[in-house]
Chain A
Amino acid sequence: DTEVTQTPKHLVMGMTNKKSLKCEQHMGHRAMYWYKQKAKKPPELMFVYSYEKLSINESVPSRFSPECPNSSLLNLHLHALQPEDSALYLCASSQPTGRNTEAFFGQGTRLTVV
């Protein structure tokens, strides 16, 4: 199984809502990532978890709150988002052992903030 599964595929939320994006992998990977991608732009790294601990936070606003409850799951909790946060949110996973490893990406959650 070389899949990274993201749910939901589409999400519409109001600016006062709280919602969560979920990501799951069963490849035994111990590094997991969140990216944000706006239309016609490259993916922007948001967070990296290594061995279930947050290792990189790319100065992401606190309205985005990541969580890694176990080695297979990664969540992104959303609260008080702005319309400009509308984007495709991508999850990825890889082995954290050095740099000789490929990352697998999910198909993303397309988020619209209204």
Chain B
Amino acid sequence: NAGVTQTPKFQVLKTGQSMTLQCAQDMNHEYMSWYRQDPGMGLRLIHYSVGAGITDQGEVPNGYNVSRSTTEDFPLRLLSAAPSQTSVYFCASSYLGQGRGETQYFGPGTRLLVL
């Protein structure tokens, strides 16, 4: 199993550009999520999904868009990048069987710099 994979590892954008961060998992997990990590702030939830075709907002959804057409993939789209979106982005996935007790598995992260 590759687990949770993310591409690219690092990206530089100019303000106003758009891009898609890719996330894929091969564990047949129903739940997938995106977090951003900023210094001194821990990780904050952007969007999440409990299955194909089902997405919802987390704590900091503004400026981001998601869709989930397959169980395996959960891309995160930045529609018009802003310097405030400079961050490290992590994708995570888990089963839904134990509900809140399920362990989430994280990808290696994408480091994004918006100039």
Question: Are A and B subunits of one complex?
Answer: no
Residues on B lying within 8 angstroms of A by beta carbon are none
Residues on A lying within 8 angstroms of B by beta carbon are none
